[in-house]
Amino acid sequence: MARIYIIAGIPGIGKSTSGRFFVPQELNILDSDLMAAKYKADGFLSYKEIGQIKFDRLFDDALMSEKDFGIELNLGFESHYHYVKRIKRFNAENEIIIVLFHTDDIELCKERAKIRIERGLHKVTPEVIDEMYKNLFSLFNKYIDRFTGLIAVNAEESGGTTICLEHNFKTKQTVPTLPLPDWIEREFSQLIKPQLLQIKRITPHVHPPIDKNKKRRGRGI
């Protein structure tokens, strides 16, 4: 049995920038966009296809190792859940922890995606971001029975990221952090309702914009 962390959220939400803060520090994280970018830098015309092939091979190797690892996925389209299904098909005892990045401000993601395109990185159109944003939670709820744990992370305009909810699907334990963003109250109302009557105000733990020269220890559920 292995524990697989899926760092998820729509493009531009901050998965690659901040995702490692919320998983065990030593965890190996697979990112198909990063792999494709390296092949693009090396001059390969089919860099997306080659990067995806490498990602799939490393994903299979990681499953076979039966060791903990992480992957980055958008989870905004049905096809993205192919990997969720494979994890459970390979070993039904495997645990999946979703580190879900989201925001109430979709324009934040569009602006970041625009900057990324200007820098010659992976191109994602505003229309694709809109569609993934719309699909995200309906798909999440469709496959929710595959998940062991949830770490919900709010992305802020400042570049900071805040854990606003943690939930263990096995024990049904939920730990919300106040003040809650609107998307948590809207999408996870059934999880947080019992706690809202008794929870005390907790100071949010906010990660500031990253200083790449400093190492910081991540966390996991």
pLDDT digit string (tens) for 38-93? 888 888 888 889 989 999 999 999 999 999 999 999 999 999 999 999 999 999 99
- Say if 215 falls within a structural domain: no
What's the average model confidence in pLDDT over 7-28? 93
Within-domain flag for 194: yes
The single residue listed with the structure tokens 């994280």 is 29
- Above 50 in pLDDT, residue 36? yes
Indicate whether 203 pLDDT > 50: no
Residue 216 lies in a domain: no
221 occurs within a structural domain: no
Taking the C-alpha atoms of residue 77 and residue 137, their distance in angstroms, rounded to an integer, is 11
Query: Residue 54's Cα: distance from chain center in Å?
Result: 20
Residue 213 lies in a domain: no
Q: Give CA–CA dist 70/120, Å, rounded.
A: 26
CATH number of the domain that residue 72 is part of: 3.40.50.300
How far is C-alpha 212 from the geometric centre of its chain's CA atoms? 20
Number of domains the chain contains: 1
Tally Cβ neighbours within 10 Å of residue 49: 12
**Residue span of the structural domain in which 172 resides:** 3-207
Tell me whether residue 212 is in a domain.
no
pLDDT in tens, 152-173: 999 988 888 999 999 999 999 9
Residue 99 in domain: yes
218 within some domain: no
